[in-house]
Amino acid sequence: MSDIDIRKSGRVGRITLTRPDALNALTLEMVEAISATLPLWAKDDDIAMLVIDAAGEKAFCAGGDIADIYAALVAGDPSVARDFWRAEYRMNATVFDFPKPVASFMKGYTMGGGVGVGCHASHRVVCASSQIAMPEVSIGLVPDVGGSLLLARAPGRVGEYLGCTGARMTAGDAIFAGFADYFIDEPLWPDLIETLEETGDWEAIDHLAGAAPTSDLESQLSDINEFFGGERLRDTLTMLRASQSEFAREALKKLARNAPLATCGAMELVHRARVRYRIDEALRGEFRFAYRLAEQGDFQEGIRAAIIDRDRAPKWAHAALEDPTAMEVASMLFPLGAHELSLEETA
């Protein structure tokens, strides 16, 4: 079985991720296959819409496949990571701007790179097993794949909370936060997709959708707005440490495992995306930060601690979450000159 199944079926262009044993993690070849296909389908009058789903029961897509990236970083070569991100971000922009309806069916884990494939769709379907997150800060990276724009669009300061803590969302949370649109029980998906293939009528999704489950995020909104409404991460930390609430204790626990520079960067990227509110600007800022993180060291160390050695004891470049200065964070977002991300290939 190949890693991805791309085909036309009736009125629908189908993209199925087929690496269930690897939680459908994205490879560069998968990204390139999607990128090559979408412009063709955009001009194909036989295709009324797209459907993106995944094989297996555990995950839609748990992120990018970082084995080769880690090996290259250990060897002192950041170009593999940068080339992957450049190709991936262009693909994310293509999905975001696709001129026809795109339905994504996101069961199980949808994290990191999976968010970039599924959560930029126009019709985003979740079910009881869905768990969606942008947990990049836990491995020394910032929320990327256009995730900073999704976070910026979330209600109140939910974007800052999710981006800085990496907290997982249930189906109800994802709908509340704007990462998903429809709750449909998973056993109904095959018949729904068959209907879409036969008719190309995306309104069939609306007709089948049920009520969204309750959201813990929504019930925590006032706390989130209170503690994550500051200009810098330092403000949030000061308020959380001064509080005796259960929310504050849990938030500090989530924050404590994350890379200081990336966590500060996550908050800054969400703030900037909320002002710019454009996918190209969001991706460009994310790329600048990620480009420099490839040499800064935290990203390599984060992968080592979480995935390679699994000791869960990363040694970050900064000892404490409040240590990165505003200038350090800002410098990660300076223009890259000749290395700047271009999205022209998505046109």
Q: What is the CA radius of gyration of the chain?
A: 19
pTM for the complete prediction? 0.96
From the list 145, 109, 125, the residue with the least C-alpha distance to 25 is 109
> Phi and psi dihedrals of 7, rounded to 5?
-160, 165
Q: Are strands 123-126 and 182-183 parallel, antiparallel or unpaired?
A: parallel
Task: Give tens-digit pLDDT for 234-275.
Answer: 999 999 999 999 999 999 999 999 999 999 999 999 999 999
Whether 345 has a pLDDT exceeding 60, the answer reads no
Which residue stretches of the chain are H helix? 28-42, 67-74, 79-96, 113-118, 147-153, 158-165, 171-177, 189-199, 203-208, 216-219, 221-227, 233-242, 246-256, 260-276, 279-296, 298-303, 326-331
Bridge partners, residue 8, by sequence: 13
- How confident is the model at residue 347, as a pLDDT? 37
Beginning with the edge strand found earlier in the chain, give each strand of the sheet holding 182-183 in spatial order.
Answer: 4-9, 12-17, 49-54, 102-106, 123-126, 182-183
Bridge partners, residue 12, by sequence: 9, 49
- How confident is the model at residue 2, as a pLDDT? 86
From the list 105, 78, 97, 91, the residue with the least C-alpha distance to 29 is 91
**Percentage of the chain modeled with pLDDT above 70:** 99
Domains (ranges, CATH) in the chain? Answer: 4-346 (3.90.226.10)
User: Do the beta carbons of residue 159 and residue 282 sit within 8 Å?
Assistant: no
CA 85 to chain centroid: 13
- 8-state DSSP, 158: H
Whether 190 has a pLDDT exceeding 70, the answer reads yes
CA–CA distance, 124 with 105 (Å, rounded to integer): 6
Task: Give tens-digit pLDDT for 118-177.
Answer: 999 999 999 999 999 999 999 999 999 999 999 999 999 999 999 999 999 999 999 999
What is the widest separation between alpha-carbon atoms in the chain? 60
Whether 344 has a pLDDT exceeding 80, the answer reads no
Task: Give tens-digit pLDDT for 222-237.
Answer: 999 999 999 999 999 9
Task: Give tens-digit pLDDT for 59-114.
Answer: 999 999 988 899 999 999 999 999 999 999 999 999 999 999 999 999 999 999 99
Whether 1 has a pLDDT exceeding 70, the answer reads no
From the list 266, 319, 162, 230, the residue with the least C-alpha distance to 241 is 230
CA–CA distance, 145 with 207 (Å, rounded to integer): 30
Q: Are strands 12-17 and 4-9 parallel, antiparallel or unpaired?
A: antiparallel
